Amino acid sequence: MSGLLENKTALVFGVANERSIAWGIAKAFSEHGANVGISYAGEALAKRAIPLGESIGSTFIESCDVSSDEEIAAVADKAKAHFGEIDYLVHAIAFAKRDELSGAYFSTSRDGFQMAMDISVYSLTALVQAYQPMIREGGSIMTMSYYGAEKVVPSYNVMGVAKAALEASVRYLARDMGKQGVRVNAISAGPIRTLAASGVSGFRDNYKRFVDVAPIAKNITTEDVAGAAVFLASDLSSSITGEVLYVDGGFNIIGIAEEN
């Protein structure tokens, strides 16, 4: 592999297991020469996340529940002590209650709405706030979005609204962070079989039907997303910020799908 990210340090949030997009990105960053720290959501996930981190020689593997300002601050302090400065921050985190991810969007509860927005949207802002003092000039921040931000995807419901807010956050954060020479972008990935995706009612059907619509008629993998993440981290994308980069085989450009 090329050393596109040689001598760079990355922190990747959202590793739940070997299927996680965060894990695909952490592995690819490491293959491209970066020193990668990883974070996972609470001790229940430690037994999966720690061996994964160790397998890429990670020396920083920390639990951080992003719904807690105290945990975010504590882990940022540890990262400061461990790395001093970092170059890349990857946010691959989302959560909505399972019963919000089926049926009518208007059934969304206040509590469910707030939880989805807090964990899937505000957490990006909270992480940027906490890590901004230690991100080097030329650095890159990225988050993960989905087409449901832009168009209606059945059952995606409150997560679609959350992803729209996440993409808007990316633009505001890109403006803020541009002042210190740091870029902020989103990757909008096509459907991938992960833990988070399995919570969306009808995901299997969407996953199967995806290849009938996308011009590149194959399902998206975490490696596909990780390749785009390496690009968005590297200097190859040094003038790209505030963007949503689709990694979806062109699914989003199709207006009306043809019959096969």
40 is catalytic: no
Catalytic pick from 88, 146, 147, 246? 146
169 scored as a contact of ligand NAD (CB under 6 A): no
Least distance to ligand NAD, CB of residue 259, Å = 25
207 is catalytic: no
Catalytic pick from 156, 172, 207, 246? 156
189 scored as a contact of ligand NAD (CB under 6 A): yes
Cβ neighbours of residue 72 closer than 8 Å, sequence gap 6 or more = 64, 66, 126, 127, 130
Query: From edge to edge, which strands make up the β-sheet containing 244-247?
Result: 61-63, 35-40, 9-13, 86-91, 135-145, 183-189, 244-247
Determine the size of the site formed for ligand NAD (CB under 6 A): 27
144 scored as a contact of ligand NAD (CB under 6 A): yes
41 scored as a contact of ligand NAD (CB under 6 A): yes
Among 9, 108, 194, 241, binds ligand NAD (CB under 6 A): 194
- Name which of residues 92 to 121 contact ligand NAD (CB under 6 A): 92-95, 119
Among 4, 5, 20, 60, binds ligand NAD (CB under 6 A): 20
The token pair that represents 87 in the structure block: 């170059």
Of 28-36, 78-86, 144-152, 231-239, the segment contacting ligand NAD by CB under 6 A is: 144-152
Tell me the catalytic residues.
Answer: 146, 156
Residues near ligand NAD, by CB under 6 A = 14-16, 19-22, 41, 45, 65-67, 92-95, 119, 144-146, 189, 191-192, 194-197
